[in-house]
A and B are shown apart, each in its own frame.
Chain A
């Protein structure tokens, strides 16, 4: 009973309105601006309709499917081989001609009816124009979000070169196995259906497949550098990264009993280095966090080099025995920090697990030191 009461009395916050009225902007508009906007209205309507056709909005799927078929037929006609004189090819040509005419006529018909409607209707209010502009910008936004270019990670010259290289190889392969005419037609079909909701949903579902991700990230997999296996490599990378700090032992806060164990004296001058290794995990199908990660992304343990690129490495505990050249562990053990959460592409989200988080990392830190002045003498002893 009390639970239902609670449910009834529950107070839910409301969303921030997604399409707020820009009243202030409208009030500040100059008359010339208003007039020019209302003159632009038909153009805006045409643009909106174009976007609707690209995004498969505002009409049934049958309508757009028929349009695609008409497009194919008319393309077939426009780039047809007209030398053949068989009855069948003449029939195909005739159907192509018809569909080309139909396509052109439907566009012309739309324009004429649009202008007729505008003439007979009341002139558009500022509200109408602003709504239309909002709708157009929103649709352009969707176009931008869904486009392939926005999905490619172009962050350096190298990635541009790789993308151009890979796509030209694909293009070349396609051109060599299918005729130019077919290539053009299939490219246009692809363009005309790419933004439909069916294709977009299919792409998203395909993206859930690990196999497909592995294929798409094939380049990343080869770009991956060799994992760090020895403590020497680990130290050399972290030395470059951090500003070397030369300190007196007296400046360090070390327990004396531990100093005895690692043979240190207060007067020794040392080089101290903080080794940082990240442990990485991924959330799998709502089943929980596992160290199983994709082969193209960072491994279960990784470090950052000076250029902030990720390098895989062994587990921290496996580095314990590889001490060399007077390097000694300053801390007794690895200090493990809390998890930090990221989204699926390792972009930072926050310190708490939420629906947005699909990967997480935590730092393993341990300081290591190298004696400088008394190095030689100690070695001799």
Chain B
């Protein structure tokens, strides 16, 4: 594997310019601005940094944000795979319309998404008015938070899996099926491994988007301290107290978590590709 890659590196041209452009642009748009945040947050010294990031509200917000984002990404992983499969393999009337709709959460400003969700799931909304009498608080609660994060993360899994699935020959499953495997076995053993990198990538992006989401969340979560207050809001609150350094410190924690998550998933992806190649 490694050898063939080295061979590849020698064979194809364009490595220098493309990597250079990537690094330069990434540096200008992401790395230098993010470095200014690191400098700001770390300038206050470890003791103050620690007290800024370990306050009870900050810690509670990490728990709330991370658990909700994980749940939302899991929902999106399952539902997104199903939807991508439907769109690619099971033609049904109105498929193209559904396909077009998937990207809606991207196009909508997050705040509009939040307001629209609240209009549907709020106590006097279309769904809320049915759910509330059953004791299901679909807005201003953890459920509302979960709904908002699921909404903004929905396109990521579908759009990551869909192109790979479209490229995948249905004959692979057919062959496995013909060899006596059940539909589920042929899916699990022949198709799922190929989809895994894309699926993981979509899951990670949905997770990351959920962790960072602000606009959609503040309208529907209720923002109660310790219960439904997300970390983005904690950052905003610190800014409103003119505490730039404290805000930067909490932001650094968010950045670090996100970066670790993304690194882990990218490593996993690399491993699953190696497995496939073997």
A and B: interacting chains: no
